[in-house]
Structure 1
Amino acid sequence: MHKRTIPLPIFLVGLFFTVVVTAVVVHFIETRASVQNQSVVRVTRSDLDEVQDLYDLISTNYVEEVSKKALVEGGLSGMTAVLDDEYSEFLTAEETKKIDESVSSNFGGIGTSINLKDRLPVIEGVPIKNSPAEKASLKAGDIILAVDGQSTENQTIDETANKIRGKKDTEVSLLIRRGEEEFSVDLKREVVPNETVMGEINSDNPTIGYVELTNFRETTALEFRNTIEDLRTQGATSFVVDIRQNSGNLLSEAERVASYFLSDGDTIAQFSARGEVVSTEKAGSKIDSGFKVIEPTVFLVDQETAFGSEVLAAAVKHKGFSLVGVNTFGKGTIQNVLPIGENNYLQLTVMNWLTPDGSSIDQTGVKPTIQADYPDYAKLPPISTSSNWRVGDNGEVIKNINVMLAALGYETSGDSFNEQTLDAVKDIQINNNMEATGVVDEPTAKNIQESIFQLVKENDTAYQSAVDMLKINKIS
């Protein structure tokens, strides 16, 4: 069995959190900016007279003391909110401190990013590969209701981040809301590495190299090149490139990796603003320094493959490479971070990116050439540790427990903790030298989730499909 970390490592409680404003890590080329800036509409001072009047009225007449700084920041935030663009936002000085952390160095936390939405912290972007957050199957859009029992409502990002961060190997408890469901997870803080590329030879097929790209940061393209060269020396004559769960932060690095697989002069992506194409990025030695991957290669994608990794996926698909998985995330816009005053910044959507043939993938994603998804049990949330679950309990948590137990070979179903559930839980406890109470307490929940995690690794149908394609040379 080929052992590696797959991109949807669900279930494992341990874990660790870093707060970064992921969407801030964006690619922006000055020449593209200058083209767009020619069409900027200048606003005269008279256009802003009413804004000034409102500021004066509130600051001089409001019944309570009001911070002038808060009024200004509120006005800036409100103006950005009118755009109705989830990626455009006003960032305070405190929030922008997170920018550099997201693209460089190692940092502490649980390995994911948060932003504020409706006065609550929300996980933004895909958790970092192999981080505690990813192993616990936390996902983009999860709302953090409480940290160690303390509500996060109306707190700043820094306040929530400081509660989540802590000494390595200590634990932090998060109360999460996902859709209509609420559950608790206990996470062990770790140091999240900044490594973005991992590679190894398939143990059953020594001529197939497996390369996983977890994100795109400053050194990703160089790491990728070094990994390919190392796998070649080990005997690899074909590759599986895994960009699942890759949120693709730094677009320039994604373009560089794409250029490795394209012929010089091939289009990587087009860039448009206000309905017109303003520039085109093409493959060539200026980007890839003459390094090329000419071996047969299959790419793995999923619903968390986003932004830069979608640029890569679209470019190689247009070239004729096979994509295996499910539709990608669908982020076809580019943001830039622009200074406002001395300390604040504006993250603003400034362009759209298009595939080599001029199509937009925004909201639709890149469609794989071969569909292959994870089993349903791989997508369940972790078992909530807010209670010790036992006979007589019912509801969504119990339904998920029964689905997990069924995946492990037990005859369980429904949303009730019944005799079949009890027998399955006792059997798991006995087989793992635990007291056979039949109660799903925290140690038992962790054991079930770890077993599911291993099962998912062993049933990575997308990866196996890619390997089979390479073995029988079904790729171009």
Structure 2
Amino acid sequence: MSDNGVSSSDKKTLQNTSREFQYNYRLLYYYYVDQDKYLGEPQDYVDKVDMQKMYEKEIPWDYYDLYYMYAMMNDNFTYYVDASRAYSLLNSLRQSDELTGAGFRLDSLAFPDKFIIQKVTKNSPADKAGLKAGDEIVEIEGVAPTNETVFRRLAVATKGETITYTIKRDSTRITIPVVIDSYLSPTVELSFYDSIPVIKISEFVANTSNDSGTYGEFVQYLRETEKYKATIIDLRDNGGGDGDQCKAMTRALLSKGDTAIGIIETKADTIRKRQAFDTTFEINTADGIAKDRYFVFLSNNNTASCSELMIAGVVSNKKYPIVGSVSYGKGIGQTRWITPSFSIASITSMKVIDKDRNSYHKYGIEPDFSIQDNDLVLATAAELAKEMKFKRIAGYGKTNTGHFAKQAVAQDTMPGFYLLPEEYRKKFE
């Protein structure tokens, strides 16, 4: 970045701050979408914090001003995380939950008196050892499990230990040792409701049990259910994640020439020393693998960010119905930087629009069928999927969801944060 990326009146104060502060101030100056409303001059953030509160939150003293500056940006998705907390946060953003165990699930409903493996998580210890869905476990460490309680006791082990399973596969008994280890959890699950496939997506991340992330899991289930003409996609309680993953998944459901989504993104104009904006639309250059299938989407108040992007991108083209409740209303996106001190800066730098340049930000996406009860949501979605006739008529919300109120962020909404002094909160109310 240019060293002269701020107004001349700010230079003197900026030069008296740390390199880390200067870098982050310029990041906000060039990339924060609302910098014209909330970014003040550098001196507005230097030596202003309640040092005792920062100390109580165990914030390193040389980051006080940085945490305070980011807190005043009126957007809890724009935040700063110092180097001592950055590594764990970065891992959580890039990958699904890390689990420890064998990595398989029993089909207890269909086979209550037997121990039949229903699913083996890809790349889990069980998968690497050779266990498969459909295998019947007849012994653990040479002992036959007589009930579920005995099974669970026999299967207890810590990381690095080995459990030996004897299974029956096609009338053949096979003994398979499984070394207990850590593995990444899946983010997509397939089930069926009244003979209709239901693909549940819990989050969007690049690293999961599948080598291609959430996208890879999703495509796998699309292929497994390709004989079905209709499918339910459940995005309830999905708060979003990796934008590249969800955009790729959106394109898989669209036809060639369809516009998946539009992004208005901030750019740094270091020549004129100002913030610039660039609008791009992602258009399908080829047919998606499920372009001819009928989909029904499920959403609720916690369906946010990338989940909303996926829904808006698909239904604005295909007019598929949505069942549930109005979504969260997060039509913005963030870019994250590793700063000179190896801290993380997350800055809202993008606004999302659909192919018609409409935005759902702050208002959410309205369902065509507003239903709260889980059983009724699934029953309604299944009926719509069977008929494959309904075309979406609802639009975006008309009432502000209140998730982006004009006030500074609340206490503890992000790692290491502190309660802002009342005198500074008041000016945003």
TM-score, reference length from structure 1: 0.49
> Residue 92 of structure 2 corresponds to which residue in structure 1?
101
SS at match of 1:309: helix
CA contact (8 A) 1:326 1:368 kept: yes
Closer, same or farther in 2 for the Cα pair 1:255/1:73, shift >3 Å? same
Q: How does 1:124-135 map to 2 (within 5 A)?
A: none
Whether 2:189 is the aligned partner of 1:211: answer no
The Cα offsets for residues 287-330 of structure 1, whole Å up to 9 and x where unpaired, read as x8x52331111111111111001001111221211111111011
SS at match of 1:460: helix
CA contact (8 A) 1:200 1:231 kept: no
Whether 2:36 is the aligned partner of 1:48: answer no
CA contact (8 A) 1:201 1:236 kept: no
The Cα offsets for residues 274-293 of structure 1, whole Å up to 9 and x where unpaired, read as 695522222234xx8x5233
Q: Structure 2: how far apart are the matches of 1:277 and 1:249?
A: 22
Q: Structure 2: how far apart are the matches of 1:246 and 1:82?
A: 27
Q: Structure 1: how far apart are the matches of 2:258 and 2:214?
A: 21
Aligned pair partner of 1:466 in 381, 387, 391: 381
CA contact (8 A) 1:103 1:217 kept: yes
CA contact (8 A) 1:201 1:231 kept: no
CA contact (8 A) 2:257 2:283 kept: yes
CA contact (8 A) 1:301 1:326 kept: yes
Percent of pairs with identical residues: 21
CA contact (8 A) 2:255 2:291 kept: no
CA contact (8 A) 1:209 1:237 kept: no
Q: Structure 2: how far apart are the matches of 1:220 and 1:312?
A: 13
Q: Structure 2: how far apart are the matches of 1:294 and 1:40?
A: 50
Q: How does 1:358-369 map to 2 (within 5 A)?
A: 358-369=357-368
Q: Structure 1: how far apart are the matches of 2:339 and 2:97?
A: 28
> Residue 215 of structure 2 corresponds to which residue in structure 1?
221
Stretches of structure 1 lacking an aligned partner (at least 5 in a row): 1-33, 110-166, 169-190, 375-458
SS at match of 2:252: helix
Q: How does 1:40-119 map to 2 (within 5 A)?
A: 41=6, 45-48=11-14, 70-98=60-88, 99-104=90-95, 106-107=97-98
Closer, same or farther in 2 for the Cα pair 1:49/1:106, shift >3 Å? closer
Q: Structure 2: how far apart are the matches of 1:473 and 1:104?
A: 35
Stretches of structure 2 lacking an aligned partner (at least 5 in a row): 19-41, 101-157, 160-181, 207-212, 267-275, 392-429
How many equivalent pairs are there?
A: 260
> Residue 255 of structure 2 corresponds to which residue in structure 1?
263
SS at match of 2:225: helix
Query: What root-mean-square deviation, in Å, do the aligned CA atoms of Structure 1 and Structure 2 show?
Result: 3.4
Q: Structure 1: how far apart are the matches of 2:223 and 2:384?
A: 22
Aligned residue identity for 2:390: I
Q: Structure 2: how far apart are the matches of 1:86 and 1:466?
A: 34
> Residue 338 of structure 2 corresponds to which residue in structure 1?
339
The Cα offsets for residues 131-166 of structure 1, whole Å up to 9 and x where unpaired, read as xxxxxxxxxxxxxxxxxxxxxxxxxxxxxxxxxxxx
Aligned residue identity for 1:200: S
Closer, same or farther in 2 for the Cα pair 1:81/1:201, shift >3 Å? closer
Q: Structure 2: how far apart are the matches of 1:470 and 1:71?
A: 57
* Offset, 1:220: 1.2
Closer, same or farther in 2 for the Cα pair 1:196/1:210, shift >3 Å? same
SS at match of 2:249: helix
TM-score, reference length from structure 2: 0.54
Closer, same or farther in 2 for the Cα pair 1:291/1:80, shift >3 Å? same
> Residue 300 of structure 2 corresponds to which residue in structure 1?
302
* Offset, 1:50: 6.3
* Offset, 1:339: 2.4
CA contact (8 A) 2:203 2:241 kept: yes
Q: How does 1:156-305 map to 2 (within 5 A)?
A: 193-202=184-193, 204-205=194-195, 208-218=196-206, 219-232=213-226, 235-273=227-265, 276-285=277-286, 290-305=288-303
Q: Structure 1: how far apart are the matches of 2:310 and 2:304?
A: 10
Closer, same or farther in 2 for the Cα pair 1:241/1:105, shift >3 Å? closer
Aligned residue identity for 2:93: S
CA contact (8 A) 1:246 1:304 kept: yes
Q: Structure 2: how far apart are the matches of 1:73 and 1:45?
A: 20
Q: Structure 1: how far apart are the matches of 2:16 and 2:94?
A: 40
User: Would you tell me which structure has more helix in proportion to its own residues?
Assistant: 1
